[in-house]
Amino acid sequence: MHRELRRELWTALAITAAVGAGAAMAGFPLAGVAAGLGLVVALSLRKLARLHRWLVRGRRPPIPELGGLWDEVIREIHRQDRDSERHKERLTGLFDRLQAAASVMPDAMVVLARHDVIEWANPPAERLLGLRIERDTGARIVHLIRDPAFGAYLAAGDYREPLILNGPVEPMAVTLQIIPFGANERLVMARDITHVKRLEDMRQHFVADVSHELRTPLTVLQGFLETFADLFEDQDGEVRSGIALMREQVERMRRLVDDLLALSRLETTPARAHDEVVGMGALLKGLADIATVLGADRGQHIEVENCGADLVGNVEELRSAFTNLVQNAVRHTPAGGSIRLVWRADASEGRFAVADSGEGIAERHIPFLTQRFYRVDSDRSRASGGTGLGLAIVAKVLLRHDARLVVESVLGQGSTFTCVFPSSRLKFPPSPSPPPPPTV
């Protein structure tokens, strides 16, 4: 390249010198130099024009031969074109292989462009989401998947948890996950979980049926044990302690069955479409009374803080969830400790918290607390009368009320369980009307 540049410079100088020398012999040296430079520029513009025409034609053959540095420029352009074409072929091949791989995947994949327009979808999207690829490409996906839950999930922008939907045909069930990428683009992935859901339904119905069938024999057994306790009241301590132990275990089984039935109802019955206003003042007073009765022999101090707002929801479900939190606080707070029931709300959210001064929970246990039968300390939980289902019930109730559970705990200092409700679940008292203006 540098050699060709020097050659172009020497050629330009030679042309200028030759024209200038001829003009000098005629008595016009400066005009000759100017004419020589003009000729060099004219030749360069002619070559540039030919290069431009070649580029405009799409760089198709024949390649113009311009000589010198211009040929070097054309060869470099041609080389970059070949490299770009090879790179394009590699990318096209990779894209074709990716499309082929996506087409044979059992999961549905849909690429959404701006405004949630379908840009591409693989064949399983037709079976799992009810799409028709040729017809629906270019359409907005919310016009095709009309489930309100999907529209709300897509608009919310929080895709950390998957969404479970009914498939296009019964009894198909689909789990759907959205992954944002690029600039305002999203990947929708759907998987058939019909078999998994069927097994889960069978488990739920089995637990509900078994729990219901256990209730009657446990009630009968509890009645007979109470009778035996009265009959053998004058017997020695070993007989009485045996009966007392049996009554304690039957009572524990009854609580377990009740919790299993409550959890089963939450899992198998739909949430109410029209909830009621729950008066938090009365509910907090009832919770404080429960805490006072349960902790009567421990001298625990109960505090209540109420912001005055109410909740919108199912009063029985909320009372069950909050009572479980209060019972846990009473069980795990030592004698003389304190328990605070706090209800606060503002324009963005409402927070019901149960804070205790108990032994606290190690951080490694906190992510698993809402799992069924998960116990931080099995012996301590059984001794305190817990079934291992209380926080699972709390989590289910909160899910049905668009809420979430936040757990904060420090070993040796206590724990705080907070139920966070969205603003749509809050009901604030009306603002007082201003007094009428004084009459003159």
How far is C-alpha 307 from the geometric centre of its chain's CA atoms? 30
Provide, for the chain, the percentages of residues in helix, strand and coil under a 3-state DSSP scheme, each rounded to the nearest 5. 55, 20, 25
Residue 302: helix, strand or coil by DSSP? strand
**CA nearest 221: which of 251, 245, 260?**
251
104-195: CATH topology? Beta-Lactamase (3.30.450)
Start-to-end Cα distance in the chain? 101
Mean pLDDT by 10 residues, the chain (440 residues): 59 63 63 64 68 68 64 73 82 78 83 90 90 90 89 86 85 89 88 85 77 79 81 74 82 81 78 78 92 85 88 91 92 89 90 91 88 72 66 90 91 92 86 58
Residue type, 331: R
pLDDT at 49: 72
Q: Rounded to whole angstroms, what are the CA distances from 190 to 101, 141, 163, 178, 197? A: 16, 14, 9, 9, 15
How far is C-alpha 176 from the geometric centre of its chain's CA atoms? 11
**Do 126 and 192 meet the contact criterion of CB atoms below 8 Å apart?**
no
Q: Which residues of 261-294 are buried (b: 16+ CB within 10 A; e: fewer)?
A: bbbbebbeeeeeeebeebebeebbeebbebbeeb
Identical fold for domains 198-267 and 276-427, yes or no, is: no
Q: Which two tokens stand for residue 332?
A: 């795990």
Report DSSP letters for 380-430, one per residue: HHHHTT--S-HHHHHHHHHHHTT-EEEEEEETTTEEEEEEEEEGGGEEPPP
* Domain 276-427 bears CATH identifier 3.40.50.300: no
Q: Which CATH class is domain 198-267?
A: mainly alpha
The domains of the chain are located at 1-84, 104-195, 198-267, 276-427
Q: What are phi and psi of 336, to 5 degrees?
A: 80, 0
Distance (Å, whole) CA 425 – CA 314: 11
pLDDT at 67: 64
Distance (Å, whole) CA 354 – CA 255: 22
**CA nearest 422: which of 370, 355, 346, 353?**
346
Burial class (CB in 10 A: 0-12, 13-18, 19+), 333: buried
Q: Which two tokens stand for residue 16?
A: 């200028």
